Amino acid sequence: MTQATVTAPSAAASARGTRSTSRATRHTRSLGGRGVHQRRSILLTIVMSVMVVYALFPLFWLFVSSTKTQSELLSSFGLWFSGDFSLFDNIAQTLSYGNGEFVRWFGNTLLYVVVGAGGATLLAALGGYGLAKFNFPGKKGVFAVVLGAVAIPGTALAVPTFLMFSQLGLTNTPWSIILPSLISPFGLYLIWTYALDAVPTEVLEAARMDGAGEMRTFFTISLRLLTPGIVTVLLFTVVATWNNYFLPLIMLSEPTWYPLTVGLNQWNAQSQTVGGDAIYNLVVTGSLLTIVPIIVAFLFLQKYWQSGLSAGSVKA
């Protein structure tokens, strides 16, 4: 709690301010924590290296495998390069196979991510801010319903959602993927806790004195103060939509609207089927192409989402 009051003014500052303060906190802390008898430990570093190797070697395997031809893939040692370097050849084949269906799936995934994750973030930002900064009739009910819904397993809902959507004629359309993606209870919770401290009530009062409407205040002032929290929610909803598999699997019966995940799985299932066109090299290369954008996004936006997460956990 002490910490919450200490970080509150910094959270109220811009994203940049929050980040530099959290770095400062860390600095003081490592001075205080390290002390005399705590030196950097080689043993601990080695133990942790084992964990990092465990986390990263499958990705290395994926990259190495993407550089192999189909026959090399099936015959050579998995964790090192072998034969011709055919990464670019594989990529070209992946993009053109089946009349370029991979490109189509990539476009679908982008659509679901932009509309689904973007919309989910906007709704969570608006809603979380509303919960943090306003008192309104039914607020307690909103809390109870949203918290209760978090406990319901998402996939348990998938079958009933499918049945309902098929009654409404929404299955086999992009809406069947986008609509459920628009709700992120975790995002709502994160923005709500973040907005409590990041948007000072005095600022809102001042804007009201100036006669600004609530929505205008939100989009011109509050949104900027909420940026680290919003980037965090955006990243996690992007991951959730980019990686979504179960929902599109049941909602879509034709490949036209498949996202990458379902498409890749179909390529794999086809390869495993007797008499099917075995395209393991394309499954592997397609997998690599699927994860590259999302990993790049995570690496580049590290600073944002890590500060956003820390802020969220103050209240957790």
Partner 1 sequence: MTTVSQDPTAAVAPRLGRRPAPHKAKRDWTGWKFIGPFMLIFAFVLIAPVVYSIYLSFFKDQLVGGNSFVGLANYIQVLGDQKFWESLGRVSIFLVVQVPIMLLLALFAALAIDSARLHFPAFFRIGIFLPYAVPAVVATLMWGFMYGVRFGLVANINDFFGISLPDPLSNAWVLASIGNIVTWEFVGYNMLLFYAALRVIPTDLYEAAELDGANHFRVIRSIKLPALRPAIVIGTIFSIIGSFQLFNEPNILKPLAKNTIVTSFTPNMYAYNLSFSGQQYNYAATIAIVMGVATAVIALIVQNRGSRKEV
Residues 87-106 that bind partner 1 (CB under 8 A): none
Q: Report the alpha-carbon angle 102-73-51, nearest 5.
A: 90
Report if residue 193 touches partner 1, rule: CB under 8 A. Answer: no
Report if residue 140 touches partner 1, rule: CB under 8 A. Answer: no
The tokens describing 285, both together, are: 């290369």
- Whole-number minimum distance, CB 176 to partner 1, in Å? 10
Nearest to partner 1 of 95, 239 (CB atom): 239
Nearest to partner 1 of 15, 188 (CB atom): 188
| C-alpha torsion 81→84→88→94, nearest 10 | -90
**Number of residues in contact with partner 1, rule: CB under 8 A?**
129
The Cα–Cα gap between 276 and 242 comes to 27
232 contacts 121 by C-beta, under 8 angstroms: no
3-class secondary structure, 141: helix
Report if residue 268 touches partner 1, rule: CB under 8 A. Answer: yes
79 contacts 64 by C-beta, under 8 angstroms: yes
Q: Report the alpha-carbon angle 125-129-133, nearest 5.
A: 175
Report if residue 40 touches partner 1, rule: CB under 8 A. Answer: yes
- Whole-number minimum distance, CB 82 to partner 1, in Å? 11
Nearest to partner 1 of 95, 309 (CB atom): 309
Of 299, 296, 279, 286, the C-alpha closest to 260 is 286
The Cα–Cα gap between 69 and 86 comes to 6
Report if residue 61 touches partner 1, rule: CB under 8 A. Answer: yes
Report if residue 41 touches partner 1, rule: CB under 8 A. Answer: yes
**Among residues 13, 87, 111, 179, which is the contact residue for partner 1, using CB under 8 A?**
179
The Cα–Cα gap between 102 and 110 comes to 12
215 contacts 83 by C-beta, under 8 angstroms: no
> 282-301: which residues touch partner 1 (CB under 8 A)?
283-284, 287, 290-291, 294-295, 297-299
**Among residues 39, 99, 140, 210, which is the contact residue for partner 1, using CB under 8 A?**
39
> 225-244: which residues touch partner 1 (CB under 8 A)?
239, 242-243
**Among residues 99, 215, 274, 275, which is the contact residue for partner 1, using CB under 8 A?**
215
Tell me whether residue 43 is exposed, middle or buried, using C-beta atoms within 10 angstroms of its C-beta: 0 to 12, 13 to 18, 19 or more: exposed
**Among residues 15, 177, 182, 190, which is the contact residue for partner 1, using CB under 8 A?**
182
Q: Which residues, 6 or more positions from 167, have their beta carbon under 8 angstroms from its beta carbon?
A: none
Report if residue 156 touches partner 1, rule: CB under 8 A. Answer: yes
- Using the contact rule CB under 8 A, the part of the chain among 83-91, 98-106, 110-118, 122-130 near partner 1 is 122-130
Report if residue 214 touches partner 1, rule: CB under 8 A. Answer: yes
